[in-house]
Each structure stands twice: as structure tokens, then as C-alpha cells.
Structure 1
Amino acid sequence: MLADKKKITIAIVDDHPIVLEGLQKVLMQAYDYVSTLCFSTGGEFLNFIKKAGTGTDIVLIDITLPDINGIDLCREVKTLSPDTCVLAFSNHNERSTIMRMLQNGASGYLLKNCTAGEVVSCINEALSGQIAFSREAREIMARPSARDWQVLPALTKREKEVLKLAADGQTSAAIAVQLHVSPLTVETHRRNLMQKFNVKSITAAVKVAMEMGLLG
């Protein structure tokens, strides 16, 4: 419970109804003066900010959303409403993903296996100006990995498209049809991606891209 009686507004951006309902219950039980708002897409929350002219005190954001990567959403939220504290609430446990959220202005990171008490504690810490982590997220941050220091490869727009479609399991032939290019062109992009990620297969390139938070 916060020391003062100021009413706080907390938004939750997640496309799983059970997560929205569960977090709402936790927050309503934890605070006497709280208003909760739920959004299933990042676009809905951004539209809310634009229409209201201001954001909420806190917003809990999932990394994987139907319309936008949570890392990119964090950056847009902080641009539109700098005073809104952004907390990631996600299953993604890669240290590089946590780092990218913080670099985009997040006030903390919670993994979805945390307790209700951790959620409330992290919200209070963020509202008091601290960087907040759930227990497991804090442990991850204490273990640097070589991947954290790897420079993000510079990808062209077409390479990003091919990478995303490959991550969806599409073949070169299917990607070629969708992008209106030849299969040979797609193969060239796949080789370039493998070279840029320093791996020997497109599957490995997709894995590294996910670890870096490039695919949401």
C-alpha cells in the first residue's frame, strides 16, 4: 500500500483475458484508491493517451502483442507521456530483452511467474522513482552474458520481412510469393541474414533475433 491516499491509474496491455482479469483483482485488493484500465493491443493504449492527452501513472506491458512489439510500444508511450511509468510484464526472460526495455525508458521488468506481492512491490518502487524488478528478473540482470554486448545487426527492410516470415515457418518459395520476388532473391536475403547474425542456418538466425528482442 502506498503511504498517501492519492488515486493512481494503472493500465494493463495484454492480449490474454485471464492476465487482465488476474492483475485487476490483484490491484483492486492492494490499493484503496486505484483505477485500472485494460487494453488488448498496444494501439488501443496509444489511442487512449492521444485522446486523453495524458497517460496513466503506471502501465504494465506484455512484450508480445498482436500489433506491436512491447519494446517499441514502451518507446512510443514514453514519447507521448514521459511521466507514465512503464513496467514490462512478460514471459520473455532474455537479459537482452530486459536491457532493451530499460533503454527505451521502462521503469522495470516483471516476469509473469512472479507473485502478486512482487507485482505490488514493483509498482510501488516504480512510483517512487526506482527501477523495479521481480525476483527472477533481478537474478537475470545479475548474470551478464556475451550476447548482451553483441551489437544489433543492421538489417534492411526486406531482410526484416524475410526474417519475420521465416520465423513464422514459411518456406523460401512461400516468402517469395508473398513478397513478390524470386525464390533466388529470398535465398540471397537468407544468406545475408545468416552472415549478419554469424550463424549457419536461418533457424539459428531467428533464435538469435528473438533473444535480441527483434521479433517481439
Structure 2
Amino acid sequence: MMQKEIKLLLVDDHSIVRWGIRSLIDRTPGLFVCGEAGTLTEAYQLVKELMPDIVLLDIKLPDGDGAAGCREIKKIDDKIKVIMLTAYAEDSIVLETVKSGADGYLLKNIESKTIIKAIQDVAAGISVLDSTVVGKMMNVVKRSSESEEVLTPQEKKILDYLSQGKTNKEIGEALFIAEKTVRNNVSRIMKKINVSNRTEAAIYWQRQKSLE
């Protein structure tokens, strides 16, 4: 069976940047660019018309910022993945975009093979952060042990699977529990560790495991 192609929408106000990314993607089997936009307004319209699998979104656009754009795209369809592709690595910007629900955060100076791998990982459900901002996010989501509620063994298992990019359904099948139960557990876990989305939870858990 042929693998489904990954549809990408490019959103950047610089046409030369879009051209460069499109040229790279067009040379990669299994990926194709279904559309381009230079503003958030254009992006929202194309998202509704084309229903891409992934949106590559710049942080700063003429009519708004990427974090707000990501939230709006997720409202249109929360199954659409959003990768921020930007030149900015400030703590506040990284935090705001991750909180907006972004599935990836990449800097524009990355190598071609890295962006392709990131796209493929995000399409598979794995959140991706540029290596230069991982440390920033680890510090941002760092929580003192005194302020954390104790995680149960099952919650730790769920975090293990979540950090591997598994969906609620896949986690439920692995642990022999209902998808709804997983969803409720994930909500409870995020409240316990004081994070607002799955990406932050995955970063938090990866950090905890690295300290063991």
C-alpha cells in the first residue's frame, strides 16, 4: 500500500523563503506543498480550502504573530499540525508558541535534512524543538519537586507514551484502557505538572527522565 503523501502549507511573508522551502520539499518523496500564503488572513482561507496536514508558519507576519495564528489554525481543525519556522529564539517567543499548541519549533538556519526529518516526525505525532531552544524550554517548564503532586505509576507510563508521540487511542491500546480514560488521565497529569499542552508535558517528562 502506498504511503499517504504529507500535504504542507507554507506561510511566510518572504517569497524567497517560501521558494527555498518549496524547492526542498518538492525534491522529497512523500511530501508536497499544497499552497502558500504571505499573511495570516490568506493562511486561514487556504487552511479551510486545502486542509493541509502540516502548516509551516513564520512567527512574525504582516497581520499578526505566529502564536495567534497557530491557535486559530487549531480552531479550524485541531488535527492540523503546526511547525513554527522562524529566526527568533527568545524565551518568551518560544514559550508563547508552545503554549499556543505548536507541534514544532525550528530555526531557519537549520540544515535541509533536519527540516525534512522534523516534518516527518511531526506528521507521525512527535513534537519537535530545535536543539538550540530545548534548553530554554526545559528551564521554562522546570518545576520544583516541592510544588509537584506525585504521579501514579500509570500516569508515568502515560507520560512515557505521550513523549513518544503516541495518540490517546494508541496509549489506551497499549495500557488496555479506554481512550476516554486516557484523555482524562492526560488532563489530570497536565494539571499536576502545571503545563498547558502535550508538547510541554513531553518536554517536562523528557527532562525528568534525563535526571534519573
TM-score by length of 1: 0.60
Measured on the aligned residues, the alpha-carbon RMSD in Å equals: 2.2
**Superimposed CA distance per residue, residues 73-93 of structure 1 (whole angstroms, 9 cap, x where no aligned partner):** 000000001111000001110
Unaligned residue ranges in structure 2 (runs of 5+): 143-212
SS in structure 1 of the partner of residue 83 of structure 2: strand
Q: Structure 2: how far apart are the matches of 1:99 and 1:61?
A: 16
Q: Deviations over 1:102-146 (max 9, x none)?
A: 211110100111111111111111111111122223343344499
Shift of 1:36: 3.4
The one-letter code of the counterpart of 1:30 is T
Contact 1:13 1:39 in 2 (8 A): yes
Map of 1:48 onto structure 2? 46
Q: How many residues align?
A: 142
Report the alpha carbon displacement of residue 12 of structure 1 after superposing the two structures with TM: 0.7
Partner residue in 2 for 1:99: 95
What is the percent sequence identity of the aligned residues? 28
Partner secondary structure for residue 60 of structure 2: coil
2:103 equivalent to 1:130: no
Residues 1-29 of structure 1, C-alpha deviation per residue, up to 9 Å, x if partnerless? xx962122101100011110110011111
2:37 — aligned with what? 39
Q: What is the identity, as a one-letter code, of the residue corresponding to 1:27? A: I
* Structure 2 counterpart of 1:27: 25
User: Which one has the largest radius of gyration?
Assistant: 1
Task: Judge conservation of contact 2:34–2:52 (CA < 8 Å) in 1.
Answer: no
Q: What is the one-letter code of the residue matched to 1:6?
A: K
**Given residue 92 of structure 1, which amino acid in structure 2 is its aligned partner?**
Y
SS at match of 1:30: coil
CA distance in 2, matches of 1:114, 1:137: 12
Deviation (angstroms), 1:31 = 2.3
Q: 2:15 aligns with which of 17, 24, 38?
A: 17
Deviation at 1:59, TM superposition (A): 0.5
The question of 1:112 aligning with 2:108 is answered yes
Aligned to 1:81: 77
The CA deviation string for residues 56-85 of structure 1, in whole angstroms up to 9 with x for no partner, is: 100011111001111100000000011110
Letter paired with 2:59: I
In the alignment, what sits opposite 1:161? none
SS of alignment partner, residue 61 of structure 2: coil
Name the aligned partner's letter for residue 33 of structure 2.
Answer: S
Shift in alpha-carbon separation, 1:139–1:22, aligned structure 2, 3 A: farther
Unaligned runs of 5+ in 1: 147-216
Q: Which residue of 2 aligns with 1:180?
A: none
Shift of 1:35: 3.4
Give the secondary structure class of the aligned counterpart of 2:7: strand
